[in-house]
Structure 1
Amino acid sequence: MTDTVDTTAADRALKGRHRAMWGLGDYPAVARDVIPELGRVLVAAAGVRRGERVLDVAAGSGNAAVPAALTGADVVASDLTPELFDAGRAFAAREGVPVTWEEGDAEALPYGDASFDVVLSCVGVMFAPHHQQAADELVRVCRPGGRIGLLSWTPQGFVGEMFRTMKPYAPTPPPGAQPPPLWGDEQHVRGLLGDRVTDVVARRQTVTSPEYASPEAWRDWWKTVYGPTIAIYRGIADDPARTAALDHDLAALAARYDRGTGSTVMDWEYLLLTARRA
């Protein structure tokens, strides 16, 4: 009994830290300025249609939810961090579409079994720490014959490398927590979903970053907008040597991926995976 209580308390604390982390900086600016096309790509791949009931899991500020609503679907956007919803509501209002915004944990979705025709997540559910638990929820709330669509950063792409670069500077993750970029590994996701899905289609694609003046300019901007990076820098703020080392490592990573001429431009790889609920 004590172990169960301790595990539950630790899980609540972890979720609290995740919620606070994604409230740092300006994630809506990342969604708007860096990856605006990804939601549209996912919605198209999942074949969202007018009249379908759609759930966007770990929706953030609606990168996939709003494009889904633009098809005429009935969309619910769920996220652990409701602080992002004001930006999402403004996005939906600009596009002239209704979206329902509801707080929810991807590992314990507050919806009944088989509630949705389509379940989506655009670089969202990958950050839930317990992958199998989150995958089970995606499947549970999708009706038989419905579709699941996932877009996740790959381990070998820029964002996966970025998380590896930051890992030595971050606190040790709690037992059972898995690295987010594993959701960008096709075999890992197939294993999570198992024989509960059919018609799996997976392909790796890239999104091109905006132009930055230099690798250092990208790093300095990223330090102000992206919650996980901000949290890591705060954790080492009293150690100037480690801070300088992370500054160097992130700029070096961006320089390695830089394919621009006179400015820094990068291609960031992701896995796009769709499946049908068996």
Structure 2
Amino acid sequence: MTADQALKSKHRAMWAMGDYAAVAAEVIPSLGPLLAEAVGAGPGTRVLDVAAGSGNAAIPAAAAGADVVATDLCPELLDAGAELARRRQVDLTWQVADVEALPFGDDAFDTVMSCVGVMFAPQHAVSAGELVRVCRPGGTVGLVNWTPEGFIGQMFATMKPYAPPPPPGAQPPPLWGSEAHVRELFGDAVTEVVAQRRALRVEVFPTAEAFLEFFKRTYGPTIAVYRAIAERPDDVAALDEALLDLARRHDTGGGAMDWEFLLYVGRIR
């Protein structure tokens, strides 16, 4: 197994941990429909959702009438999404695929999108190149990603000292939430860009402790970090307290938090 294959296997296993479908459905359900609407998904459009997870954006796009292919590195997440789509009586295609090496021809889609997904692929420029390659000239690229300064970006910064070192060449996921970084990644390939920082109101955690328990149980990256320090109880306690402090600082009252994200929509030149 090559180093790249080993890394992909590790990422696949990480996202299979816990229950990301619960995060998508219970914590961030509005992000997917927002992105599907922003890219104009509808009848007559062929849409690719990369790093689609359980279909938070793919299912609303298909429900709006688009011909959708949802891809992800993790088959378990696609299985969860397929079940959700079946229950909602929405038809779309589910396919295991790596965003850094998409198994589609050039100019194959009218729209390529990703909802807090592509940001977790380690090689940002490679992923951006693939998004451009498979989207036709004049087509739409649409992304929602957590910003470095927002709650989730700060959560990753908080966990970083406790996590194993990233592989060589891997870039931090929240960089995809920086407009300057995304513009640099796409360069002249994408034009007519509209980029907006927005806030997602999260009101499902009455306390900081409720947030921490949920993320330690459901969210793959959090689970992976805690597993890495499981034999170091002092580090576990320190990370617990750091994440609780983060949640308390973002509490706007009654457990409500605003999680900042970047909505980016552009057109392939």
Same fold (TM > 0.5): yes
Q: Structure 1 residue 273 and structure 2 residue 244: aligned? A: no
Q: Structure 1 residue 33 and structure 2 residue 26: aligned? A: yes
Q: C-alpha distance in 2, partners of 1:95/1:118?
A: 23
Cα RMSD over matched residues? Answer: 0.9
Check conservation: 2:31, 2:57, Cα contact below 8 A.
yes
Structure 2 partner of 1:5: none
Q: C-alpha distance in 2, partners of 1:95/1:207?
A: 24
In the TM superposition, 1:70-149 aligns within 5 A as 70-149=63-142
AA partner of residue 92 (structure 1) = A
The alpha carbon displacement at 1:71 in A equals 1.2
AA partner of residue 267 (structure 1) = D
AA partner of residue 178 (structure 2) = D
Structure 2 partner of 1:178: 171
Q: C-alpha distance in 2, partners of 1:26/1:83?
A: 10
Q: 1:195 aligns with which of 188, 197, 204?
A: 188
Runs of 4+ more than 6 Å apart:
none
Q: C-alpha distance in 1, partners of 2:24/2:112?
A: 19
Q: C-alpha distance in 2, partners of 1:116/1:238?
A: 47
Q: Tell me the number of residue pairs that the alignment of Structure 1 and Structure 2 aligns.
A: 269
The alpha carbon displacement at 1:221 in A equals 1.3
The alpha carbon displacement at 1:91 in A equals 1.5
The alpha carbon displacement at 1:265 in A equals 1.4
The alpha carbon displacement at 1:156 in A equals 0.3
TM-score (norm 1): 0.95
SS in 2 for 1:49: coil
After superposing the two structures, state which structure 1 stretch, 48-57 or 117-126, moved more: 48-57
SS in 2 for 1:113: coil
Structure 1 partner of 2:13: 20
1:29-68 CA-to-partner distances (Å, cap 9, x unmatched) read 0000000000111011111121211000000000010000
Q: C-alpha distance in 1, partners of 2:178/2:247?
A: 22
The alpha carbon displacement at 1:94 in A equals 2.4
Q: C-alpha distance in 2, partners of 1:10/1:209?
A: 38
Q: Structure 1 residue 232 and structure 2 residue 225: aligned? A: yes
Check conservation: 1:82, 1:103, Cα contact below 8 A.
yes
Q: 1:45 aligns with which of 38, 51, 63?
A: 38
SS in 2 for 1:134: helix
Percent of pairs with identical residues: 61
Q: C-alpha distance in 1, partners of 2:124/2:264?
A: 16
Check conservation: 1:117, 1:142, Cα contact below 8 A.
yes
The alpha carbon displacement at 1:227 in A equals 0.2
1:217-268 CA-to-partner distances (Å, cap 9, x unmatched) read 210111000000000000000000000000000000000000123xx11110
In the TM superposition, 1:195-234 aligns within 5 A as 195-234=188-227
SS in 1 for 2:2: helix
SS in 1 for 2:94: strand
The alpha carbon displacement at 1:95 in A equals 2.1
Q: C-alpha distance in 1, partners of 2:67/2:121?
A: 25
AA partner of residue 273 (structure 1) = Y
Unaligned 5+ residue runs, structure 2?
A: none
